[in-house]
Chain A
Amino acid sequence: MARTIVVTSGKGGVGKTTTSASFAMGLALRGHRTAVVDFDVGLRNLDLIMGCERRVVYDLVNVIHGDANLNQALIRDKRCDQLYILPASQTRDKDALTQDGVGRMLDDLAKEFDYIVCDSPAGIEKGALMAMYFADDAIVVTNPEVSSVRDSDRMLGILASKSRRAEAGQEPIREYLLLTRYSAKRVKLGEMLSVEDVQEILSLHLLGVIPESPSVLTSSNSGAPVVLDKISDAGQAYEDVVARYLGEDRPQRFVEREKKGLFGRLFGG
């Protein structure tokens, strides 16, 4: 049976789509058959970040309304044949989603995939609720910044009460914290919330810390998930995240400011 993971936040622009792309790619690179689904109907981004925007024929809304089946809509990634993308519609909006339709679509996906990553839109209305309703796990993407922490906290309350698992009284959604756009330097200067500050409010299992990195912009401009950039700090951090999710014990690498060697200080930024 497939595991359904929602990547959510409440706050917009914190790194949900970036995370969905890299997390799904990371799972697929390890041999797990993975589908990543864009739930941001009307503001579709996942296809851009994945670099498949020129191959979109059918989308999530087409599948839900029966205009196309899953096989017609799913796009296989050119870099990893275990990874498939189901893009959102750009011409419709979130009202086109129905809970039954989404449920049936996820059930069909579950027959063929090991992991289903749902990229949630921002907010707490229908689109976000649809994306998280059927989830088994939730990655709550948070920036170390007060309004993002407040919105993530709100989203946690909703995950605990409005998911199918909550309504059916089943084991609750497993919640993970992913801290993104983290700057160890600014934390040290006291300008930015630290991991401990965030955990004091959210009290969640920490899945990982993704450092603020120019490689994220470079990757999205070239239509590649940043996890493929093995040299970049963000890419390596996402690789650690996937490993931890699958049960490996990896130390947090980007929380402390790395000490630069002599050459780094002379020539580095």
Chain B
Amino acid sequence: MQAAPTYRIPQPVTALDIKATTLTAPVIFLHIGHLGQIASDLAARIATSPEFFRNVPVIVDISRLQADDTVDFVALAELLRQQQLVPLAVRGAHGALRARVEAAHWAVLSDEAMRGEPAARAPAPRSAGATRVITQPVRSGQTIYAADSDLIVLAPVSPGAELIADGHIHVYGSLRGRALAGVRGNAASRIFCHDFRAELVAVAGTYRVNENFAAAQLGSAVQIYLDANDMIIEPLYHGSKL
């Protein structure tokens, strides 16, 4: 297939472009302004996972310091660089303190920045539904569909009945109808059956009809799954004869 021709829109020539981005950085909350203690405590924390902290930009939050506790922000920056951290910004500095922070060449983050950044917007995982359990016989003409979940049937399934699931299907009894597992494409779905006499079985769209089951499989306990695109029907219990 030929690649579609690409067209380049002429751009003005500039050396740079500025865009907004969001950044996740560790925040070091200071409790005490004593630089010596800060240095030793920091070294101990970094030692637990040095690679994680190497060359990482950090934000220092001073909101938990006592009111009379002062910090030499120039010395603090040097301390951090010695531990291979990159001093980025100070959070929680108000009034006169802001001027001192800026003079020491730190960025000052406003209080609005105290709000945690929203976690990366990942699509909400589709919660797996509770497995559906059927205890009454499934009669001819009935259809049971377990959406987003597995299906367990503890009663006989008559010819002409349909069991459908997005996940696995277990029949702890006679299966004489149809069983279709993984109907939305979950090829890892399986069908487990205690007394296998189905009219048709399917996993993620790959199906086989009763006529094409091996005679020895009928009436026995089997599990059915896909290996690549091949349907495998094998004994459910190890050591049982098929």
0/1 interface trace, chain A 134-168, chain B, CB 8 Å (1 if under): 00000000000000001001101110110000000
User: A200 — which chain B residues lie within 8 A by C-beta?
Assistant: 156, 174
At the interface, yes or no: B159 with Cβ under 8 Å from chain A? yes
Q: Are A160 and B139 in contact (CB under 8 A)?
A: yes
Query: When A150-B159, A201-B158, A203-B156 are in contact, do A157 and B176 touch as well, CB less than 8 Å?
Result: no
Query: When A201-B158, A201-B176, A203-B156 are in contact, do A154 and B139 touch as well, CB less than 8 Å?
Result: yes
Interface residues of A (CB under 8 A from B): 150, 153-154, 156-158, 160-161, 200-201, 203
User: A158 — which chain B residues lie within 8 A by C-beta?
Assistant: 141
Among residues of A, the one whose C-beta sits closest to the C-beta of B161 is A157
Among residues of A, the one whose C-beta sits closest to the C-beta of B156 is A203
Total A-B Cβ pairs within 8 A: 32
Distance in angstroms from A106 CB to nearest chain B CB is 25
Q: Which of B101-138 contact A (CB under 8 A)?
A: 136-138
User: A161 — which chain B residues lie within 8 A by C-beta?
Assistant: 142
At the interface, yes or no: B140 with Cβ under 8 Å from chain A? yes
At the interface, yes or no: B92 with Cβ under 8 Å from chain A? no
Distance in angstroms from A172 CB to nearest chain B CB is 9
- Which of B140, B156, B174, B176 contacts A154 (CB under 8 A)? B140
Interface size class of B (residues with CB under 8 A): 10 to 19
Q: In the assembly, what is the distance between CA of A266 and CA of B16, in Å?
A: 116
Query: When A201-B176, A203-B156 are in contact, do A154 and B136 touch as well, CB less than 8 Å?
Result: no
User: B174 — which chain A residues lie within 8 A by C-beta?
Assistant: 200
Q: Are A157 and B159 in contact (CB under 8 A)?
A: no
0/1 interface trace, chain B 134-157, chain A, CB 8 Å (1 if under): 001111111000000000000010
Distance in angstroms from B159 CB to nearest chain A CB is 6
0/1 interface trace, chain B 57-72, chain A, CB 8 Å (1 if under): 0000000000000000
8 closest A-B pairs by beta carbon, nearest first, are: A157-B139, A153-B140, A154-B140, A154-B141, A157-B142, A153-B158, A156-B139, A157-B141
Q: Are B136 and A157 in contact (CB under 8 A)?
A: no
User: B156 — which chain A residues lie within 8 A by C-beta?
Assistant: 200-201, 203
User: B176 — which chain A residues lie within 8 A by C-beta?
Assistant: 201
Q: Are B160 and A154 in contact (CB under 8 A)?
A: yes
Q: List 27 A-B contacts (CB under 8 A).
A: A150-B140, A150-B159, A150-B160, A153-B140, A153-B158, A153-B159, A153-B160, A154-B139, A154-B140, A154-B141, A154-B160, A156-B139, A157-B138, A157-B140, A157-B141, A157-B142, A157-B161, A158-B141, A160-B139, A161-B142, A200-B156, A200-B174, A201-B156, A201-B158, A201-B159, A201-B176, A203-B156
Q: In the assembly, what is the distance between CA of A229 and CA of B171, in Å?
A: 47
| 8 additional contacts (CB under 8 A) given A150-B159, A157-B139 | A150-B160, A154-B140, A154-B160, A156-B137, A156-B139, A157-B161, A158-B141, A203-B156
User: A154 — which chain B residues lie within 8 A by C-beta?
Assistant: 139-141, 160
User: B142 — which chain A residues lie within 8 A by C-beta?
Assistant: 157, 161
User: A156 — which chain B residues lie within 8 A by C-beta?
Assistant: 137, 139
Distance in angstroms from A169 CB to nearest chain B CB is 14
Distance in angstroms from B85 CB to nearest chain A CB is 66
User: B140 — which chain A residues lie within 8 A by C-beta?
Assistant: 150, 153-154, 157
Among residues of B, the one whose C-beta sits closest to the C-beta of A161 is B142
